[in-house]
Amino acid sequence: MDSRTDRGRYQFPVRRRELVAALGAAGTGTVAGCGEIQSETTLSDPTEKSDGSGRRSLHFSSDGEEIGHFGVDGTVASDLIELRTEIWHRDGTRVQSIELRVWMPETARDTPAEVAVVSPVEGDSSPPPNVRLSSPDRDLGTVIEIDDLDDLADETISTLELLVRPASETATELTIDSTIELTSSGLLGSDYTLDGRLELEYPKLATRSD
């Protein structure tokens, strides 16, 4: 099912069992005609930086060089958490895909929070990417998958905004698990998978009914 839409401002997940095809090719590849090996590296121990409980970022490095970072800046408006994200990656890499799992630990098993993507996600001149939202049976929260990014793949991506509505007036903690796939634009470069978790807190949510 193609979930992209230009008819509404928000895109909410379809709650159904969904089998997601594996993204990309597994293992390492050989550059045709050259016999060179292009490596694949998973970075899963990022450095976290914080500018407040609702504004944090994960920074992924290899051999002392930063490969990319994923940041979130969130604010509370009425009963919603408004999240602005940023994905930066070094020159010579492209964003192949983005997967975010958004959940609130205090209520995830009983009544999950509602999650929406604010449209549009596309850049100034590119068509919208593929955006899929789902609520897998065996995982907590809502999964957001984005690929086919066109010219956004080469840029710092700061057009992905989310809305989260907690299921409980007492829930204040928000977790975002991120997996970002980067491909190298050079023949001898490395492809990267950036895996990390951001744990955010919005105490203002607990006072909204006061």
How many other β-carbons are positioned within 10 Å of the β-carbon of residue 76? 19
What is the rounded CA–CA span in Å between residue 177 and residue 199? 9
- DSSP assignment string, the chain: -----SSSSEE--B-S--PPPPPS--S-EE-TTT-PEEPEEEE--PEEEESSTTEEEEEEEETTEEEEEEEEEEEEETTEEEEEEEEEE-TTEEEEEEEEEEE-TTTTTTSPPEEEEESP---SSSPPPEEEEE--SSSSSEEEEEE--GGGGGS-B---EEEEE-SSTT--EEEEEEEEEEEESSTT--EEEEEEEEEEE-GGGGGTT-
Structural domains in the chain? 10-14+46-207 (2.60.40.1230)
pLDDT band at 128 (very low <50, low <70, confident <90, very high): confident
The whole-angstrom distance between residue 41's C-alpha and the CA centroid of its chain comes to: 18
Which of 14-28, 49-63, 148-162 has the lowest average pLDDT?
Answer: 14-28
pTM over cut 0.85: no
What is the per-residue pLDDT for 9?
47
What is the rounded CA–CA span in Å between residue 108 and residue 121? 26
pLDDT band at 22 (very low <50, low <70, confident <90, very high): very low
Give the pLDDT mean for 108-118: 90
**Tens digit of each residue's pLDDT (9 = 90 or more) over 43-89:** 999 999 998 778 999 999 999 999 999 999 999 998 899 999 999 99
What is the per-residue pLDDT for 121?
77
What is the rounded CA–CA span in Å between residue 40 and residue 30? 12
What is the rounded CA–CA span in Å between residue 68 and residue 86? 10
